[in-house]
Chains A and B, each alone.
Chain A
Amino acid sequence: MAPVSIHCDSQSTLSKAYSQVYIGKSRHIGLRHSYVRDLISNGVISIMFVRTKKNLADPLTKGLKKDMVLKTSLGMKLKPISNWLPIVETQPTLE
């Protein structure tokens, strides 16, 4: 089975994940590092870089601006029903 590609928007995290050893001090990061390393070497996941603007997980961690909310929703394929008959007026208006 092909590895599941996971996109990450931090270059330093990416290089850390692919480096053999973790030289930090905190153990909880070290543990996760070896876990991620394991998964990569077993071919379960592969990690790729993505621009923050294209990261779909962005709205799950912070409140975003209007254009980004729209863009990420579209990326998740969360979109309005084309032939939906609204009972009430539902068009989003400008604030």
Chain B
Amino acid sequence: MLANRYIINESDKCIYSKVQNGKGVMICLYVDDMLIFGTSTNEVEETKAFLSKKFDMKDLGEADVILGIKIIRDGNHIGSSQSHYIEKVLQKFNHLDFKPISTPFDQSVSLQLNKGCPVAQLEYAKVIGCLMYAMTCTRPDIAYVIGRLSQYTSNRSEEHWHVVKRVLKYLKGTMNYYLTYSGDPSVLEGYTDASWVTYVEDHASTSGWIFNLGGGAVSWRSKKHTCIADSTMAAEFIALAAGSKEAE
């Protein structure tokens, strides 16, 4: 690849690009899947021909689903959706005919460690795993509650199950949501926030940051702090530092 003047992206080694006279091609690799972007169809066709000479590959045409994420084209917008995946998850855990709820998490519920013996641990771990995949790919809105719930995977009580149910119900109502990108504005915008002492048992705060590019969210995280902040300002500052790290 490099011999043919493709350049490796330094921050993500799976991306190769080649730009010549204002025309460019980008290739994204993930294990055995590949996406090719180009400024024109000609460029893409050329790249395909070049690659198929060197490697044994199958052309699946215009990209539809990659890594379980559906690519949606809507006018001049492009979007990524996981509605089919979420539907499958709901079906798997028999939540397809529950009444939808409009918020993922009720602030008045205080989740605490279970002092008793664990209940249906495997099922809980399974549902958290499924939801976490949706969360990391296309659903920043449930990041907080998933992060919160996953801390009790080793020992959960009945109360935690109710919260999981609520998330499933929320997802049912918002199953058809997808992240859209319109390409405008084309600058990176970051947002950071923190909430002070969200965890009653160990006084830890939570921080969150999100980056928007081309209108849609591209990167996000909700994280429990590793150190204890003594004020709201300190908590916000920790969030700011974490967000800046990603920006760098």
* Chain A residues within CB distance 8 Å of chain B: 2, 4-10, 12-13, 16-17, 24, 26, 28-29, 32-33, 35-36, 39, 44-45, 47, 50, 52, 55-66, 69-70, 72-73, 75-84, 86-88, 90-95
Contact = CB atoms under 8 A, between A and B. Distances in A.
A91 B191 contact: no
Nearest to B108: A63
Interface residues of B, number: 75
A80 B237 contact: no
A14 B81 CA distance: 35
**Interface SS of B by simple majority:** mixed
B240 A8 contact: yes
B112 to A, nearest CB: 15
B243 A6 contact: yes
Interface in B90-130: 96-97, 99-107
Contacts of B241: 32, 35-36
A83 B241 CA distance: 41
B240 A4 contact: no
Interface of B: 72, 74, 79, 81, 83, 87, 96-97, 99-107, 138-141, 143-145, 172-182, 187-195, 198, 206-212, 215-217, 220-222, 227, 229-230, 232-234, 236-241, 243-245, 247-248
B101 A95 contact: yes
